Amino acid sequence: MTKKYSKFLLASGEAFNLEDFPYYWITQVHAQCVKNEDHALKKYGLDNSRRRILLALKSKPHASVSDLSEMMVSKMSTTTKIIYRLKDEGLVETYSCEEDARITRVVLTEKGNQMTHKIKDLSNIVLEQSYEGLTPLQIEKMIESLKHIFKNLS
């Protein structure tokens, strides 16, 4: 183990301060953001899982179930269950891919499209609150650091 990173590692024999562990903060920030967004989305009968699929479909229309599963970093079975809940709620439709009938594609309905606008408005309130006290440059640097860490882990 290099001394350079020892403060940020789970070192045995040394006192470890959880607050010096970046992944602790990543999970804390994510959990708090989801909690705040879930609270705001309750009035629309949505939760974080449904929100994520709807927004993923907004950015990638006609995505396959496996595409959505990858985007959500979720098991295929979990993603499929959520999609069928959204379908029952009239927010998405599914259809078989013309080139390969084994592939199921998902598309937003008009109601689903309208819901993404409401989700974005509510999410932006939570996100703006989370960025208070930070400059755009600090946020950009944080994103670049996270991308770098992701690349290292990939």
Q: What is the pLDDT of residues 37-83, one digit of tens each?
A: 999 898 888 999 999 999 999 999 999 999 999 999 999 999 999 99
Q: For residue 6, which amino acid is it?
A: S
| Residues written for the chain | 154
The answer to whether residue 1 scores a pLDDT higher than 60 is: no
CA 105 to each of CA 50, 62, 63, 113: distance values in angstroms, whole numbers, following the listed order: 16, 5, 5, 16
pLDDT at 132: 96
State the average pLDDT over residues 111-118.
96
Cα–Cα dist 24/8, whole Å? 10
The answer to whether residue 106 scores a pLDDT higher than 90 is: yes
CA 129 to each of CA 15, 20, 32, 117, 149: distance values in angstroms, whole numbers, following the listed order: 34, 24, 12, 19, 25
What single-letter DSSP state applies at residue 97? -
Helix (H, G, I), strand (E, B) or coil at 34: helix
Considering only 10-14, 68-72, 85-89, which range has the smallest mean pLDDT?
A: 10-14
Who wins on pLDDT, 16 or 135?
A: 135
